[in-house]
Chains A and B, each alone.
Chain A
Amino acid sequence: MRERILTAIDKNSKLSASDLAIMLGSTEEEVVSTIKQMEDETIICGYPTLINWDKINCERVTALIELKVTPQRGLGFDKIAERIYQFKEVQSVYLMSGGFDLTVILEGKTMREVANFVSEKLAPMDAILSTATHFVLKKYKEHGLPLVQTKQDERMLITP
């Protein structure tokens, strides 16, 4: 049941518990309690909204930063990752395999703001060896959903 609920709400968290119960052939009580359990266990960590900010006149810049860092004895990368993700500007932090160690996704109001953050906050940290900042020019798809255009239903109204 857990997996079935999660798959159902993965792309649409607005589905009500009663609708979910009908769609999954379950009861409202079971759906509500399963969701509650998963929230408590932080399997479900939140219900954010997917917004295409480009569509409203609101300055926003997203940057992807590759970091090379020195892991700390006994703590590996976790400590430095935590020091980074505490900043509210930081949207995501991932530990990577390959040519660098951490990917940080940053959101700021302007390019200058992001640049300042990198040069004043990130780069000076002891463990950080190098940074490479890439600015996002346009977002096409996020969380499995295209942001660009929504498709019209072009089917004929009635077909056999």
Chain B
Amino acid sequence: MPPSGIRKFFDIVSEMKDAISLGVGEPDFDTPWHIREEGIYSLEKGRTIYTSNSGLKELREEISNYLSRRCSLVYNSQSEVIVTVGGSEAIDIALRAMVEPGDEVLIPTPCYVSYHPCTVLAGGTPVTIELKGENEFKLTREQLLEAITDKTKILILAYPNNPTGAIMNYDDLKEIVEVIIEKDLFVISDEIYSELTYGGNHVSIATFPGMKERTIVINGFSKSYAMTGWRLGYAAGPSLIIEQMTKIHQFAIMCAPTNSQYAGVEALKNGDTDVELMRDAYDKRRRFLLHALRNMGLECFEPFGAFYVFPCIKSLGMTSEEFATRLLSEEKVAIVPGTAFGECGEGYLRISYAYSIENLKIALERIERFVSKHRK
């Protein structure tokens, strides 16, 4: 199995001591204090023991409340929800629970780095769907139909998307839902960025009639509550699949960290305003970054989700990797080449706005200098 494309670039960057970065995939905010305090309190109370495999009952109930409150999804907290070690584990065990050798898993790319390897580890065959810039990196009905064979079992859907910042709204999803039901596919819907959409609420594909029974919804606390280091996520779906996932989870890892789970309860109970404040801050930076990149003459569709902008640099006649490597050596700015998220990311860059405006300004000045120097 090849190492993650992002790893290779990380090794180059880590040797550059004074580089500034727009390359991270995690929030710059600290976890809100009331949530951290609940984690500390759980330690003080000596809650240093395992929880049940599928997670604290109270947390699963809060997750179920949250999904119904924010996403109009109704799940039984006892049988249809499992608490995992970050969204990453949920992706892994969902694939391992569902994939049989020879099954094809459709992976629209560019996408998060773990879908491919986790599919391979589960014994499945990853099938890449190369999303297109002109479609704003949404999955279209035609592209989906084209990729389906009689071996296709699962579609992995990840919107709001890392690395493109793309979202799929109700109408976009409706188009593909018909195909998914007709071809009898399962969907693993990675909705980890669901709270970070701008100009409209997130729509989960599981809300469409006929979809809930074939969808595993994956979400977590990392992005919405700035809790990456707590390693806390969850999956919700049909009890039959959740039951199988719980077995794998039980043997691989027992349960998610207990103090993180207590903090998670507090986040879901009292964290709505924190999310709102962070979303508002990201939105300002998003507009700022998009404006600056377009002013440099870089082609850039408006991303309405996550905290990434995905500009096209084809006009400069450089590959993504060349651009990223030279920008790093000439201007000491680290950004991630689009190719780290799949070959069809060629010609694009992932720029993160999980940084303060002051930081963005400095980095953008340098990028602008670089772009105008290399524009012929």
Contact = CB atoms under 8 A, between A and B. Distances in A.
Contacts of A159: 6, 23-26
Contacts of A155: 24, 26, 28
Given A22-B291, A23-B287, A24-B284, A157 B28 contact: no
Nearest to A23: B284
B6 A160 contact: yes
Contacts of B288: 19, 22-23
Given A19-B357, A22-B291, A23-B357, A160 B113 contact: yes
B112 interface: yes
Nearest to A18: B291
Interface stretch (B8-16, B50-58, B95-103, B200-208): B8-16
A8 B284 contact: yes
A51 interface: no
B19 interface: yes
Interface string A1-42: 000000110000001000100111100000000000000000
B107 interface: no
A158 B9 contact: yes
Nearest to A4: B280
B287 A158 contact: no
Interface string A109-137: 00000000000000000000000000000
Contacts of B112: 160
B284 A158 contact: no
Contact of B10 (A22, A24, A157): A157
A158 B6 contact: yes
The number of chain B residues touching the other chain, given as a range, is: 20 to 34
Nearest to A153: B28
A42 B285 CA distance: 29
B334 interface: yes
A156 interface: yes
Interface in B2-47: 4, 6, 9-10, 13-14, 19, 21, 23-26, 28, 30
B227 interface: no
B25 A160 contact: yes
B141 to A, nearest CB: 29
A156 to B, nearest CB: 7
Contacts of A157: 10, 13-14, 19, 21, 23-24, 334
B139 interface: no
B82 interface: no
Contacts of A160: 4, 6, 25, 112-114, 162, 340
Nearest to B16: A157
A74 B14 CA distance: 71
B336 interface: yes
**Most chain A C-beta atoms within 10 Å of own C-beta, residue among B4, B19, B24:** B24
Contacts of A156: 10, 14, 24
Contacts of B6: 158-160
Contacts of B28: 153, 155
Nearest to A14: B358
A135 B13 CA distance: 50
Contacts of B114: 160
Contacts of A153: 28
Interface string B281-317: 0001101100100000000000000000000000000
Contacts of B30: 151
A15 B288 CA distance: 12
A151 B30 CA distance: 10
A27 to B, nearest CB: 12
Contacts of A22: 287-288, 291
Interface in B325-367: 334, 336, 340, 357
Interface of B: 4, 6, 9-10, 13-14, 19, 21, 23-26, 28, 30, 112-114, 162, 280, 284-285, 287-288, 291, 334, 336, 340, 357
Given A7-B280, A8-B284, A156-B14, 7 more contacts: A25-B287, A153-B28, A158-B10, A158-B21, A158-B23, A158-B24, A159-B25
User: Would you list the 5 A-B pairs with minimal beta carbon distance, nearest first?
Assistant: A23-B284, A157-B21, A158-B23, A158-B10, A22-B291
15 contacts: A7-B280, A23-B285, A23-B287, A23-B357, A24-B284, A24-B287, A155-B24, A156-B10, A157-B21, A157-B24, A157-B334, A158-B6, A158-B23, A159-B6, A160-B113
